[in-house]
Amino acid sequence: MDIKTSSKQKDRNPKNKFKVTRRTFIKIGGAVAAAAICGFELRNLYAVDDDINPDPNAGDTGVQVIRTACMMCNAGCGLQVKVKDGTALMIEGNPFCPHTNDYSTAGTEAVLSDISEPDKYPGTPCARGNGGLKTLYDPYRIKQPLKRTGARGEGKWQAISWKHAFDEIIDGGSLPEGTFEGLKAIRGTPDSSKRASEKLTTDDTNYASEAKSGDPANFGFKANRYVWIRGRDQISQITKRFNDSYGTVNHIEHSSLCNANYSVPAKTTFTGPKTAKYSYMRVDLDNVEYLILLGTNPLEANVGTPYWARKLMTFKSNGGKLIVVDPFFTHTASKADKWIPIEPGTDLPLLMGMMRWIIDNNRLISNYLSIPNENDASSAGYKNYTDAAFLVKTTEGKGEEFLNASEAGISEGVTTLSSDISSSDKVISVQSTSTFPSKGFVKIGDEILYYPEKDDTANTLGTSSNGCIRGSFNTKAASATSGTSVVVPFVVRKEDGTIALYSNVSSATLDWSGTVNGHECSTSFKLLKDRVTSKTLEEWASICKVSADTIQTLADELSNG
């Protein structure tokens, strides 16, 4: 159904319901005071004056309850909106949505019979979701394209038609500082790589993608001058196809106000077959006893705020201890057992100080850190494993890249492609799979990929029913020709000093550096330890402006479980 938003509905605009005269204010104020004395609940005071409560009953004439999704952020929480005579009057949480209500289906699907009187007991949206009515009826809501008519930052704009906007975006137009080209002019002709073939020159930009150091005149494809950037557009299946067909690599779905601050460091820190784009790491608040929050504010800003707010407060009510590290005293900090104000941008020195204390006081779970693969970690009762024992090539003590099986001089986990592969192939044919683990990582050229199983009869990594995951560890899926080297990219040092594939060792040397087959190497843990111990606890504390005693207490409490 259509929800009316025209100016003719001024009298039915819900914001007008909240106009309070002095007489009404005094009447309501007196009722509130009386309720405070008598112990009444504030929500029962809505009967005092209907003007302060625009919430109609679901059964009233002309009232509809429409269940939908909130688009005020990317969480898409469930909402139910009460609409009367075409005007939206009340936004509530959809009681059938787990984001806004603790709801689980009785069967396999959500049905009305799961909840008694769902219209009477709605879920709870966050403040932004509740603000949807203000956005809908905001007199300054932008409903058509705006074109800048003054200098940048001057705040001068002119409303134009959609046709006018499309014409200038496609064919070019003018701004106060001069004319500009449209998308048609810079697209060029798509080539086999699905990008425009016309290259940029130094006259265009020095910041285009795909610059080649051997060709100073080549600054990438001209189509890369077109940049798509916004928050979450909700139709990325369409926009990505459009941008790919256009030829630009600059398709940016997130902004710093969205998940960019999360996804970029997560993807580069926690690499693997499941990239951060698809695997959102979340705290298991149902099973946590001690929680330190850094760079996050779940009571105000996390995606799916109603859900995480409920989870966090349940964690607190169950006796969990909450530590909030934040320069600001946020709503989340107000609920913490301890709030730690910190110098902005120094979360890492705080963590380095904590690690310094943990290392110095032998609080490491060394047996866990020494397990270098998934199977042995699972056998030991752990849900995951780390790369702490992986060997890393070093130059003057600084880590460069992981040492692979071929570089380590071992015969296992080394073969070549038996046929050409494209970047989309999920089954990789090689000369022999006999010395490769049943599942794991391989490196082909510059690409690291993950294969969930192998076929020793067909000599393939990945199968038709369980194919490889391409482009893992922040490498791009790429084509390669027959004869290209295929190697296991990670090796470890066994306790007896020999070097082996990471998949063939249940417990590897953790703290070590030395030479392997002519390569200077250190374990990943050794590189971290050297960095952590390069400063004292007090020196790390001085950087983040948090006392050494506080850092020690955090490290002690966290590692004492």
Which tens digit of pLDDT belongs to each residue from 446-494?
A: 899 999 999 999 999 999 999 998 877 777 788 999 999 999 999 999 9
CA distance 240 to 235: 9
Q: How far apart are the first and last CA of the chain?
A: 55
Q: Identify which has the larger pLDDT, 381 or 116.
A: 381
pLDDT at 73: 80
Which tens digit of pLDDT belongs to each residue from 9-40?
A: 344 444 444 455 555 555 556 555 555 555 54
CA distance 356 to 537: 6
**Pairing mode of beta strands 87-93, 146-148:** unpaired
CA distance 292 to 446: 37
Q: Identify which has the larger pLDDT, 71 or 189.
A: 71
Q: Identify which has the larger pLDDT, 42 or 433.
A: 433
> Which residue is associated with the tokens 């030991």?
380
CA distance 405 to 419: 21
Identify the three-state secondary structure at position 239. Answer: helix
Percent of all residues in the chain with a pLDDT value above 90, rounded to a whole number? 54
In this predicted structure, the answer to whether residue 392 has a pLDDT above a threshold of 60 is yes
Half-sphere exposure for 29 (CA within 13 Å, toward CB) = 7
In this predicted structure, the answer to whether residue 274 has a pLDDT above a threshold of 70 is no
Instruction: From 96, 22, 80, 82, select the one nearest 53 (Cα to Cα).
Output: 82
In this predicted structure, the answer to whether residue 49 has a pLDDT above a threshold of 70 is no
CA distance 364 to 339: 25
CATH of 7-137 among 3.40.50.2300, 3.10.450.40, 3.40.50.300, 2.20.25.90:
2.20.25.90
> Which residue is associated with the tokens 């056998």?
379
The arithmetic mean of pLDDT across residues 290-316, rounded, is 89
Which pTM value belongs to this model?
Answer: 0.73
The arithmetic mean of pLDDT across residues 382-399, rounded, is 94
CA distance 506 to 522: 19
The arithmetic mean of pLDDT across residues 149-169, rounded, is 96
Helices and strands per DSSP (H, E), number in the chain: 16, 26
The answer to whether the beta carbons of residues 388 and 510 sit under 8 Å apart is yes
| Token couple for 486 | 């295929």
The domains of the chain are located at 7-137, 290-337, 342-407+492-561, 413-487
- Structure confidence at residue 58 as a pLDDT band (50, 70, 90): confident
pLDDT at 541: 98
The arithmetic mean of pLDDT across residues 165-178, rounded, is 95
The answer to whether the beta carbons of residues 210 and 220 sit under 8 Å apart is yes
Percent of all residues in the chain with a pLDDT value above 70, rounded to a whole number? 78
**Helix runs in 39-144, H state only:** 127-130, 132-137
**Pairing mode of beta strands 469-472, 447-451:** antiparallel
CA distance 22 to 3: 32
pLDDT at 256: 58
Name which of 59-63, 82-86, 254-258, 366-370 the model is least confident about: 254-258
pLDDT at 32: 54
The DSSP secondary-structure symbol of 399 reads E
Instruction: From 373, 353, 302, select the one nearest 331 (Cα to Cα).
Output: 302
Cα→Cα distances 409→398, 403, 500, Å: 22, 10, 10
In this predicted structure, the answer to whether residue 45 has a pLDDT above a threshold of 50 is no
Half-sphere exposure for 353 (CA within 13 Å, toward CB) = 23
- Structure confidence at residue 237 as a pLDDT band (50, 70, 90): confident
Which phi and psi (to 5°) does residue 13 adopt? -65, 130
| Token couple for 479 | 């084509």
The arithmetic mean of pLDDT across residues 298-314, rounded, is 86
* Helices 537-544 + 548-559 axis angle, to 10: 110
- Structure confidence at residue 270 as a pLDDT band (50, 70, 90): low
Mean residue pLDDT across the chain: 83
